[in-house]
Amino acid sequence: CWTRSSGRPATSGMGWARTAAASTSRYGRGCQGCARRLYDGDFYDGGWCAGREDTEQWLEVDARRLTRFTGVVTQGLNSIWTYDWVTSYKVQVSNDTHTWLPSRNGSEEAVFPGNKDPETPVLNLLPVPLVGRFLRINPQSWFPNGTICLRAEILGCPVPAMPTPGTPRPRPPPTWISGHNYKEMRKLMKRVSEECPDITRVYSIGQSSRGLRLYVMEISDNPGQHEVGEPEFRYVAGMHGNEVLGRELLLNLMEFLCREFRLGNPRVVQLVTDTRIHLLPSMNPDGYETAYKLGSELAGWAMGRWTYEGIDLNHNFADLNTALWDAEDNDLVPHEFPNHYIPIPEYYTFANATVRPQNPL
């Protein structure tokens, strides 16, 4: 992370980059087009002041590179003549200055508390770091006897530069030329976790009938922490143990997300920052090991499909389609036909049923 000091206390994090530029919605007095840093005095016009008093004004910072913004520090205007400071503001980031992503506190746009006097700095950390090149401070309220004026420092870290167009990127190792058995799958997940320890966590949701752990890879900027309002996604593969592709796709996905996050891919950085992803590459490891040992030539289509105890995990989901298809055959569609609730079929309760509630596999 960057720290900038120029004869005044340094801020942890990025501060104002030496190459950063600033622009504004409009200005009435103060400094236009130069950095309005903390502790700047009257020699630098004491800060920036908007030309209008409404909530559409903004101070924009161009970090000149992709940056992971984490916070804002503000002061009011340094002046012996007036008392001007912002009492609350919003924050947005952008990559192109056309589309702006607001900082959110859960499902609502965050409004940060500002200053109570001109000189005391107030630090606000973003609820979730935002990645972009440009950041805007959008004042929402200000000292009633003054106007919209502020000085600021922006906190954050530069995201590693992406390769320039046309530059060959290192080719990832061919990790799924052939399927990974259980031992190889564990080793791959361990390696990915060690390469990206800050955004990954490996945990187990239980064991199979033969004692193989069901490992899950969590990918998030705060692994292991549930953040209110942050979307969570779960991807499950390998319900039929002899179907190889799902396992390999999820293993490949966790490698891809780790690698691209380290390279600073903006879409992946945003994805990891704003969501919590859980990848379960093998829900039926017993079936996979059975089919894997025989090989594709000898296993056939059925070997390893079920769990060790003969349960078809794919049947543990409600069938909402058959009832609808039957209704179509009986000319009940396009009329309204409810398929949002299907009672548990009677045969699910039979002693020889190939489905099971949430018990060990």
| CATH number (domain holding residue 65) | 2.60.120.260
Model confidence at 27: pLDDT above 50? no
Same domain, 194 and 340: yes
Task: Please report whether residue 16 resides in a domain.
Answer: no
Span 251-259, mean pLDDT? 95
Same domain, 153 and 89: yes
Q: What is the pLDDT of residue 217?
A: 97
Strand, coil or helix: what is 340?
Answer: coil
Same domain, 223 and 137: no
Model confidence at 60: pLDDT above 80? yes
Same domain, 230 and 274: yes
Using pLDDT thresholds of 50, 70 and 90, give the confidence band for residue 178: low
Span 6-29, mean pLDDT? 43
Q: What is the CATH number of the domain that holds 270?
A: 3.40.630.10
Q: Residue 12 contacts by C-beta under 8 Å, 6 or more apart in sequence?
A: 1, 3, 155
Task: Please report whether residue 212 resides in a domain.
Answer: yes
Query: Which is more confidently placed, 236 or 30?
Result: 236
Query: Which is more confidently placed, 165 or 23?
Result: 23
Model confidence at 84: pLDDT above 80? yes
Task: Please report whether residue 1 resides in a domain.
Answer: no
Which residues form the domain of 117? 21-158
Q: What is the pLDDT of residue 350?
A: 76
For residues 47 and 32, what is the distance between their CA atoms, to the nearest angstrom? 9
Same domain, 270 and 237: yes
How many distinct structural domains can be found in the chain? Answer: 2
Average pLDDT over all residues of the chain: 80
Same domain, 110 and 198: no
Same domain, 145 and 265: no
Same domain, 154 and 268: no
- 149-158/276-280 β-pairing: unpaired
Task: Please report whether residue 328 resides in a domain.
Answer: yes
Q: What is the pLDDT of residue 7?
A: 28
Q: Which of 142, 158, 174 is the last residue of a domain?
A: 158
Task: Please report whether residue 309 resides in a domain.
Answer: yes
For residues 141 and 138, what is the distance between their CA atoms, to the nearest angstrom? 10
What would the pLDDT profile of 47-59 be if each residue is shown by its tens digit?
A: 889 989 999 999 9
Task: Please report whether residue 319 resides in a domain.
Answer: yes
The residue type of 126 is L
Same domain, 36 and 89: yes
Same domain, 196 and 343: yes
Strand, coil or helix: what is 204?
Answer: strand
Same domain, 260 and 147: no
What would the pLDDT profile of 183-223 be if each residue is shown by its tens digit?
A: 999 999 999 999 999 999 999 999 998 999 999 999 999 99
DSSP state of 42: G
Same domain, 343 and 206: yes
Give the tokens for residue 278.
């859980």
Q: Which of 143, 158, 173 is the last residue of a domain?
A: 158
Question: Does the pTM of the predicted model rise above 0.75?
Answer: no
Q: Residue 75 contacts by C-beta under 8 Å, 6 or more apart in sequence?
A: 38, 39, 47, 85, 115, 118, 119, 120, 121, 122, 150, 151, 152
Burial environment of residue 298 by CB neighbours within 10 A (0 to 12, 13 to 18, 19 or more): exposed
Task: Please report whether residue 125 resides in a domain.
Answer: yes
Enumerate the β-bridge partners of residue 93. Answer: 101, 135
**Residue 157 · residue 130 · CB < 8 Å:** no
Task: Please report whether residue 67 resides in a domain.
Answer: yes
